[in-house]
Amino acid sequence: MCTGKCAKFIGVSLYPLCLISIVCNVIQFFPGWETEPVKNPGEQMTPEVIYLGGLIGGGLMVLIPAIHIQATGREGCCNNRCGMFLSIIFAAIGAVGSLYGFAVSTVGMVKGPQCLYSLNLSISDSKWVRPFDSEIEDFSKEDNYLFKREMWKYCIYPKDVVEFNVILFSMVIASTGISLILCTIQMLNGLFGCLCGTCRNKE
């Protein structure tokens, strides 16, 4: 596969990954499909959601490079050595965005969601915290909530917020991880494109 076709394939592949990251990050603003946390983000919203790792990192910072990367694989002004050189820069921006989204989502996954927490499963005896964070005394540092589903019930509101966060953060981690790999490949592909051309003349 020539460098131009490879760039076109990478550019097209990045679009759905951007969409997944953006959509998942937007949905995370409504944990358990509740709107109340959006009204009180400082207290009720998981911090990593507010950092917009999926929307900005895995979304916009990858989408813009994807447009140029795809353009280097089509007939036109970008399908040349200069376009390939620029694709290296754009791919680097996409890699940084992907890495940011990946890191933020991983931290959000490890620390768990912000929720109304009660060991007694009672609203009257509850508080807004991150119960699975290591700073909470009710659980030891050895207790990993990801592998102990019986701990999830202590997040009584929003309903099923733990499953909600785990699924959405997992999707962002997967999409940004793949985007990071593709952008890294494009950086190498762009380097070869600068040195060897895009195969346009040969075709």
**Domains in the chain, ordered, with CATH?**
3-114+160-196 (1.20.120)
Q: Which residues contact 136 (CB under 8 A, 6 or more apart)?
A: 129, 130
Predicted local distance difference test score (pLDDT) of residue 187? 93
**Phi and psi angles of residue 129, each rounded to the nearest 5 degrees, phi first:** -150, 180
Q: Is the pLDDT of residue 203 over 90?
A: no
pLDDT, tens digit (0-9, with 9 covering 90-100), for 67-115: 988 888 766 555 677 778 888 999 999 999 999 999 999 999 999 999 9
Predicted local distance difference test score (pLDDT) of residue 79? 63
User: Mean pLDDT in the chain?
Assistant: 87
Confidence band of 133 (pLDDT split at 50, 70, 90): confident
Q: Which residues sit opposite 127 in a β-bridge?
A: 117
Stretch 36-48: mean pLDDT, rounded? Answer: 89
Q: Is the pLDDT of residue 175 over 90?
A: yes
Q: Which residues sit opposite 117 in a β-bridge?
A: 127, 155
Number of H helices, E strands in the chain: 7, 3
Q: Is the pLDDT of residue 30 over 60?
A: yes
CB-CB contact of 189 with 1 (8 Å): no
Q: Is the pLDDT of residue 138 over 70?
A: no
